[in-house]
Amino acid sequence: MVKFKDFDKDFSLKDKVFIVTGGAGGIGRVIGGFFSQKGAKGALVDISPKVHETAEKLGLEGIAADLTKPGEPETTVAKTAETFGRLDILVNCAGIGPLAKAEDMPEEVWDRTIAINLRVPFLMAQQAAKAMIGQGGGRIINMASQAGIVAIDGHLAYTTSKAGLIGMTKSMAFEWGKHGITVNAISPTVVNTELSTGGTYWVGEVAARALADTPVGRFGEPEEVAALCAYLASDAAALITGANIVIDGGYTIH
């Protein structure tokens, strides 16, 4: 049994050490900055070398790594733990969402989507948990999606990977709770980033239909997702585990 302990009512992350994957841009970059403002330190990880510049601007470490390659998740977690002396928080935020009709889905697109969106979070969480078990606990947060709850046209591989991530989150939470590790998923709506609304899909008529089906009538902002992430990473959220917290403006409630 993990005993209750009081927490900072400002949801401080002071001196916590984190890893955020997909940290070179979009939601991952904003999460890293939010964590830093809350007093945490740690590393942004991304396949893009731009992660070094992004991290430097935020006063964080940048690690350029292709986490689909054998050994890279282990090396990334070990490097961060060695640099900072421990690891308290892992946010699996890296992901891709290639579009293809189910009947036309190329096998290589399916495999790469599952590898990045599901296999990499598994491997990163596995390595992070080993470090966290040895130090008495930690927080793992998996970035899922509303697409893991409801079907979205042309998103077969993405939907499958995110639904799997939600299921994985529950299983990890069940197994690791006794070690003081909480594992939760966040399922956002479309978020205003360069990869989503800045792309070619969530625009025009497609965007208009999605917004019409969203009770609050707008897409999300990365700061909103980062704020939820910071809460789940804080000591205030110690009783929340195995949850999939939907932040979608009501898109999936009807």
**pTM for the full predicted model:** 0.95
pLDDT in tens, 29-50: 999 999 999 999 999 999 999 9
Tell the CATH superfamily of the 17-246 domain. Answer: NAD(P)-binding Rossmann-like Domain (3.40.50.720)
Q: What is the mean pLDDT of residues 107-114?
A: 97
pLDDT-derived band at 199 (thresholds 50, 70, 90) equals confident
Neighbours of 157 (CB within 10 A): 24
Distances (CA, A) of 232 to 1, 6, 90, 188, 244: 20, 15, 11, 14, 11
What contacts 108, CB < 8 A, 6 or more positions away?
none
Alpha helices in the chain (DSSP H): 26-37, 50-58, 72-84, 107-114, 120-135, 156-176, 204-212, 222-233
pLDDT of 28 strictly over 90 = yes
| Amino acid identity, position 202 | W
pLDDT of 84 strictly over 90 = yes
Active site residues: 158
Contact of 215 with 249, CB cutoff 8 Å: yes
pLDDT-derived band at 14 (thresholds 50, 70, 90) equals very high
pLDDT of 132 strictly over 90 = yes
Q: What is the mean pLDDT of residues 56-66?
A: 97
- As a whole number, the mean pLDDT across the chain is 95
Q: What is the mean pLDDT of residues 191-202?
A: 81
Contact of 32 with 23, CB cutoff 8 Å: yes
What contacts 226, CB < 8 A, 6 or more positions away?
27, 30, 31, 33, 34, 35
Question: What is the structure's pLDDT at 147?
Answer: 96
pLDDT of 149 strictly over 90 = yes
Element (H, E) at 17: strand 17-21
Phi, psi of 182, rounded to the nearest 5 degrees: -100, 145
What contacts 78, CB < 8 A, 6 or more positions away?
127
pLDDT of 198 strictly over 80 = no
Phi, psi of 91, rounded to the nearest 5 degrees: -115, 110
Taking the C-alpha atoms of residue 32 and residue 109, their distance in angstroms, rounded to an integer, is 29
